[in-house]
């Protein structure tokens, strides 16, 4: 058996886990029938946990392809014995991997420890399995030197207790593209080309890499994105997505500098509707040209987009900004600082000065007081015995980290402690820069 099995790891010190065994599976280990059955069992349990249909062979193939490419660690608790059910299905699943770059602002990136596929079977809920998996995974990630961990959530009340803060948000837009839709005049020396899924991946990758490089909060795509972004495999249909379409914007020299993907949904709520998957461009002109295109698709009255930034140039480029309605604001990335020095020294700062920062971490990973000294936009961070001047939780640090919320707001929310003077000093140091924008869900 090539899987890394650690029998009984949690049985002695965690009474609620009696009868369960923690294991880590390697998605590349499929040499024996036993390995394959455990991997398939893990996938079955995951689908059950998210109330999805049972995976088909095609689902397994695509899922394992992505998991192998990213060297994902598939973790879980398995029952030691079962009377009737298959022992291959874990009662808890948890996946994590060393993900790609996250833009932390100021043109800097840090690799993100990415966590997903968190489920606990209804038969074993609320007895500490998630807590146990999260503790061991974050401790191991910190040990391996990761400065930041991230996840996206099904419910907003679960992960604050583990030190994750709501770091980025997205808007859902509904855009009226009837005759009201018109952009202010702009010059476009480039052109547009509609391309097929098989032709688009290299351009998507290049343009997204530039988005990660230039946009605070943007995050590299995990390997599984290739299959679903290009429509090679639609998870819900369990087959290729035959309806997704792509347009590229080309600069004057014919190089792709923007893309949009969309699906015509037919009539929805009485209106002929296009759903946009993603729009990204490396220049403002390409962005506007793509929106001019999307707003001009025939037989369409409305365009919906669920991944818009909180502030979008589109609204300011329209002759009638009321064409755009915000229908929802969602959180996307939740961040957790694992290494205070590496994380804080990487991000940008906005005034010179020094503050003793008191961090409260229920998991004990970043607890303590840290002296943050900023000179010309860069911080030096060291542990200190000094009295903490500004006090916040690991969760609040995660929320503040990318600049998605500022000190006065968090203070008004009762999430920062300290004197007026210390909080003003801290705010001057930490608050500033563009709002973060992340479209990479996982």
Ligand X SMILES: CC(C)(COP(=O)(O)OP(=O)(O)OC[C@H]1O[C@@H](n2cnc3c(N)ncnc32)[C@H](O)[C@@H]1OP(=O)(O)O)[C@@H](O)C(=O)NCCC(=O)NCCS
* Chain contacts with ligand X (rule: CB under 6 A): 49-50, 118-120, 125-131, 153-155, 157-158, 161
159 catalytic residue (yes or no): yes
Residues contacting 59, CB < 8 A, separation 6+: 43, 235, 238
Min. distance of Cβ 137 from ligand X in angstroms? 13
Looking at 323-435, list the stretches that DSSP marks H as alpha helix, in order from N- to C-terminal side: 340-346, 394-401, 407-412, 420-430
Is residue 293 annotated as a catalytic residue, yes or no? Answer: no
Q: Minimum Å distance from CB 80 to ligand X?
A: 18
CB-based contacts of 56, cutoff 8 Å, min separation 6: 238
Strands 245-250, 271-281: pairing is unpaired
User: Could you tell me which of 245, 250, 168 has the C-alpha nearest to residue 207?
Assistant: 250
Q: Which of 159, 233, 246, 287 is catalytic?
A: 159
Helices (H), 153-297: 197-214, 225-229, 284-294
Nearer to ligand X, 90 or 358 (CB): 90
Q: In terms of C-beta density within 10 A (0-12 exposed, 13-18 middle, 19 or more buried), how is residue 84 classed?
A: exposed
Smallest separation (angstroms) from ligand X to the CB of 49: 5
395 CB contacts (<8 Å, ≥6 apart)?
160, 161, 163, 164, 165
Which CB, 126 or 322, lies closer to ligand X?
A: 126
Q: Is the CB of 134 or the CB of 410 nearer to ligand X?
A: 134
Rounded Cα–Cα distance for residues 70 and 80 (Å): 29
Question: CA–CA separation, 29 vs 51, rounded Å?
Answer: 27
Q: Which one, 94 or 370, has the nearer CB to ligand X? A: 94
Closer of 170 and 429 to ligand X (Cβ): 170
Residues with a catalytic annotation lie at 159, 442
């Amino acid at each position: 058996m090539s899987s890394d099995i650690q029998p009984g790891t949690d049985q002695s010190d965690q009474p609620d886990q009696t009868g369960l065994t923690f294991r880590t599976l390697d998605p590349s280990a499929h040499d024996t029938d036993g390995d394959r059955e455990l991997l398939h069992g893990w996938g079955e349990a995951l689908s059950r946990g998210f109330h999805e249909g049972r995976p088909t062979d095609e689902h397994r193939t695509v899922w394992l392809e992505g998991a192998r490419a990213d060297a994902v660690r598939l973790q879980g608790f398995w029952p030691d014995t079962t009377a009737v059910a298959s022992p291959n299905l874990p009662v808890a699943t948890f996946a994590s991997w060393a993900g790609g770059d996250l833009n932390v602002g100021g043109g800097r990136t840090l690799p993100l420890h990415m966590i997903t596929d968190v489920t606990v079977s209804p038969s074993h809920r609320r007895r500490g399995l998630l807590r146990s998996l999260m503790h061991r995974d974050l401790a191991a990630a910190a040990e391996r030197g990761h400065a930041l961990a991230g996840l996206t959530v099904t419910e907003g009340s679960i992960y604050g207790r583990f030190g994750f803060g709501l770091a980025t948000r997205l808007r859902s837009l509904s855009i009226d593209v009837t005759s009201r839709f018109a952009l202010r005049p702009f010059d476009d020396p480039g052109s547009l080309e509609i391309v097929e899924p098989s032709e688009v991946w290299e351009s998507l990758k290049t343009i997204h890499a530039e988005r990660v490089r230039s946009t605070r909060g943007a995050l590299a795509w995990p390997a599984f994105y290739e299959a679903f972004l290009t429509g090679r495999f639609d998870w819900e249909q369990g087959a290729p997505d035959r309806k997704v379409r792509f347009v590229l914007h080309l600069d004057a020299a014919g190089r792709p500098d923007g893309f949009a993907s969309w699906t015509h949904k037919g009539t929805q709520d009485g209106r002929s509707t296009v759903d946009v998957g993603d729009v990204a461009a490396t220049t403002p002109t390409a962005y506007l040209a793509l929106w001019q295109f999307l707003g001009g698709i025939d037989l369409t009255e409305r365009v919906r987009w669920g991944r818009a930034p909180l502030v979008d140039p589109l609204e300011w480029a329209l002759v009638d900004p009321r064409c755009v309605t915000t229908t929802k604001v969602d959180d996307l990335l939740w961040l957790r600082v694992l290494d205070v020095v590496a994380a804080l020294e990487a991000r940008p700062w906005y005034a010179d000065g020094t503050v003793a920062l008191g961090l409260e971490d229920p998991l004990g990973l970043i607890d303590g007081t840290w002296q943050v000294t900023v000179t010309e936009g860069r911080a030096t961070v060291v542990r200190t015995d000094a009295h903490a001047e500004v006090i916040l939780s690991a969760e609040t640090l995660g929320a503040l980290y990318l600049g998605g919320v500022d000190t006065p707001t968090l203070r008004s929310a009762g999430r920062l402690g300290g004197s007026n003077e210390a909080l003003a000093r801290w705010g001057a140091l930490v608050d500033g820069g563009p709002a973060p924008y992340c479209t990479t869900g996982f």
